[in-house]
Chain A
Amino acid sequence: MSTEQQPTEQPPTTGRPATARRSSDQPTKRGADRRWRRYRRTTTATIAALALLSVGLGAAAVLRGPTIDSASINLPAVIARDGQKLVLHADQSLAPITPDQVSVSPAAPVDVTASGPDVTLAFSGLLDYATTYHVRVDRVVGADTGLSGSLDYSFDTPDVPVYTLLRQGGAAARDPGRPEDQVLRSGIAAGPDATSEVVFEAPHILQYAVTDVALAAIVADDQGNTSLEVVPDGGSAVTVPTPTGARLQNLRSSPTSRLFGFTVSGGADAAGTPYQDAVFVFDPLSASGRADPVAGFGGAPLPLVDWRFVPGTSSLVGQGSDQQLYLVDPLKGGEPTPLGRHTQMRGFLPGGVQLVVADGEGESTIDLSTGAVTALPVFVPVVDPKYYPKKIVVQAGGVTIRQYDDVDYSSDSPVAASVIALADAAGTRELYRSTTAGSRVRDFCVSPNGQYLAVEVVPAGALNDGYALPGYSDMSTYFVDIASGATTRGVAGFLPDWCG
């Protein structure tokens, strides 16, 4: 073993001649004593310093009261389904929490429960897209320590892509050499200067629908024959076999079950079976590569004049030509469940399976999980009586959003402007009004979380493109924040996927 050369910390003690050692015994002994004392002092001081540091840090950790240790939340779910939970895990067990101790900014309704070190906040509505939420629980008291503190937590909800269809060429839709129609993808939170991304192109796109695994589009050839093309995520387009000579329309998707559905009218399949308003579903993840008709009573195709997927399920609800509503799950099979006759399906309340239907006596909701029908008193917008009422959307609590056209029948273009108004307990307010003379709203719909309005605007002098589902040249879709009425962004195209 060798001794380390350490001139300052560990002077060498060997290797000196014996005579020299004898002549300096006293100083060497004093030096050794000094080194021993230094070592003991170092050891004692180090242990004491570490002990003091531990006591100090431990006291600081204990005396600061409860703080948040971790949190869990399903961010994609909080903008898609109501009832989602945020669990705040404190670093110690907590005394009971009351709802007035909890604040959420921007405001969102929550139910609060607490157990042990966990505080659970259940959001009773959907949260906004691309928004930073701050949650604070004040005056939390440690169950064991009695010390108080606060729990603070922030999270960012995700942005969502929104798709639009850009038809090219207007009246010259069938001119050779025209650019192809495009499906564009844009972000809601992106600034006004952000560009959109082309995700699908075809010469003539009538409709499209998207899920997270595929995009489907009803495309037409130059003769107007329609077919269904499906583009798997990262793959190339394939044409799905459909009855020969059939007209395809009403394409929709179910993001949850990743199904596409569409209605088939006219034509017949290989067995000669004719179809009229028959709903077909296609599963892009299925190995069959085939679209199947939704079976009605006795296994026959179920004809529906209007239909839509039930959010969060693989079921669909539709309306027959006799106004009877049906609920059917194409994956599970079985007979359709009649839901009663109603004049019109208005759509679903955001975040749930409450279907709004209209009848002569007013609106009501059908809870598709229980079948319960509940009257839904609605607020009626108060607008200029000369306005012509058009599409109506009813939200939770009877909040009504309705489009009105300002019609001037003496003009060549009778619609002079469009207005979209919201009526709630506070009264009526305009959410959108045409900004240029002669421009009008073709359609509008509400985002799945109820935060935005997507407004399809036809500019003045726009030309009809002549498609079976007509569009117009230079159409744009604007997104209006319903809470503030501010228009946040505009993108090219129409038919936003929210309206599907």
Chain B
Amino acid sequence: MIGLVIGAVVAAALIVLRLVTSDLDAGALPNRMRDFVTLATSVVIESLPFVFLGILISIVVRFWVPDRWLHRIMPRTPWLRRVVISLVGVLLPVCECGNVPLARGFIMKGFSVPEAMTFLLAAPILNPVTIVTTYQAFGWNDGILAGRIIGGFVIANLVGWVFSRHPQPEALLTPRFEAACRIEAGPSGSGSAGARPRLRRSVVAFAEETSTMLPALIVGSAIAGAIQVGLSRDILVALGSNPIWSVLALMLLAFVVAICSNVDAFFILAFGSTFLPGGVVAFLVFGAMVDVKMITLMRTTFTTAALVRLVAIVALASIALGFGVNLIA
């Protein structure tokens, strides 16, 4: 109820702001402020459809797909389960921000935390939309497409394996999300929530996930916009022809621009002639798994310690991948 009131107040404030400022020309705001608003809004607009799509698919997985069906089709061997789940993105072509609610749905459905992490990291890359757009942008040139697909698969499974060694994987989750999972499962496994009709539970879950995801998305987008305004792209481009700095600079760019994996290939295509292919591959792999917006979204689910380890492994693996591609390309 409080959230509803806050939302209504914010919406009313925005309407009033629009009415008050409608007569002002475009130059009323400083250039950097306009850039910030444009960049932050563009990230929100670009991500929003995928977030809603992810939430909807997550709800379908949680409440409408039978448990037996999901678990029957999955292998029993842990590493093989992670391999299979890292390819599930082929069936669910949602970009990385939409995969966070979906990964949460998987955990609530009974998948282990390492499996959900594997899916979360692999699905933005190993899905048909991302593969096709990357192919359209780069074809088979310099091993960029192959590097992205193979690198994404290996890194996601590496992270899944490392976290599968955790003695209490549920400790990787935030207390709030773990509590939600316990409520979902219930004391007997059917769950207290199980007493409610599925449709009602779906609506409630949609509201809960939306209220969790959207603030994180907006905060992440604002941070992305602010960093882009503050960090000169000219500096990034100047570093492009160095085998080391090309990788590090484009990873930093990927972290900052927080662009969806479905379209990031076309974004970086403009840098393709300036930067070495290893940098492009690192951008396409690292940015699809970790960026400033994803950090805030993942923080709704995983503890800070878990995120630090995840980001460290993904970043180092992406660096190694980028350096390796620069070496052989």
Chain A residues with a Cβ under 8 A of chain B: 1-6, 8-10, 13, 32, 35-36, 38-39, 42-43, 46-47, 50-51, 53-54, 57-58, 60-62, 64, 69-70, 89-93, 116-117, 144
Contact = CB atoms under 8 A, between A and B. Distances in A.
B164 A57 contact: no
A70 B170 CA distance: 48
A410 to B, nearest CB: 70
A1 B276 contact: no
B219 interface: no
B72 interface: no
Given A1-B170, A50-B317, A64-B327, 18 more contacts: A1-B184, A2-B189, A4-B115, A6-B78, A6-B112, A10-B112, A10-B165, A10-B169, A38-B165, A38-B167, A39-B167, A42-B162, A43-B165, A58-B323, A60-B327, A61-B243, A62-B243, A70-B273
Interface stretch (B30-38, B88-96, B103-111, B220-228): B103-111
Contacts of B326: 61, 91
Contacts of A9: 78, 164-165
B78 A51 contact: no
B112 A117 contact: no
A369 B175 CA distance: 81
A47 B308 CA distance: 11
A418 B182 CA distance: 100
A61 B78 contact: no
Interface in B161-218: 162, 164-170, 178, 181-182, 184-185, 189
Interface of B: 76, 78, 81, 107-108, 110-112, 114-115, 142, 158, 162, 164-170, 178, 181-182, 184-185, 189, 241-244, 273, 276-278, 309, 312-313, 316-317, 319-320, 323-324, 326-327, 329
A36 B323 CA distance: 33
Contact of A57 (B166, B189, B276, B323): B323
Contacts of B158: 46
Contacts of B110: 1-2
Nearest to B167: A35
B328 to A, nearest CB: 10
B243 A2 contact: no
Nearest to B182: A1
A11 to B, nearest CB: 8
A99 to B, nearest CB: 24
A39 B111 CA distance: 20
A10 B316 contact: no
Contacts of B313: 46-47, 50
B185 A2 contact: yes
